[in-house]
Amino acid sequence: MTSPDTAPELPARTVRCPACGGPSLYAADNPHRPFCGQRCKSMDFGAWASEQFAVPEALSNQDPNFERS
Ligand SMILES: [Zn+2]
Ordered structural domains, the chain, with CATH: 14-60 (3.30.50.10)
Give residue 54 CA to ligand 1 midpoint distance, Å: 24
**pTM flag (> 0.75):** no
What tens digit of pLDDT does each residue of 9-21 get?
666 789 999 999 9
Cα 9 to Cα 26, 32, 34, 67: the distances in Å are: 14, 21, 20, 64
Give residue 47 CA to ligand 1 midpoint distance, Å: 14
Give residue 16 CA to ligand 1 midpoint distance, Å: 8
Within its chain, how far is the Cα of 65 from the centroid? 40
Residues with CB under 5 A from ligand 1 (ion): 17, 19-20, 22, 36, 40
What tens digit of pLDDT does each residue of 31-68 get?
999 999 999 999 866 666 676 666 555 555 667 776 66
Neighbours of 53 (CB within 10 A): 8
Give residue 60 CA to ligand 1 midpoint distance, Å: 34
- Whole-number Å distance between alpha carbons of 16 and 25: 9
Q: E strands, 4-66, where? A: 13-16, 23-26
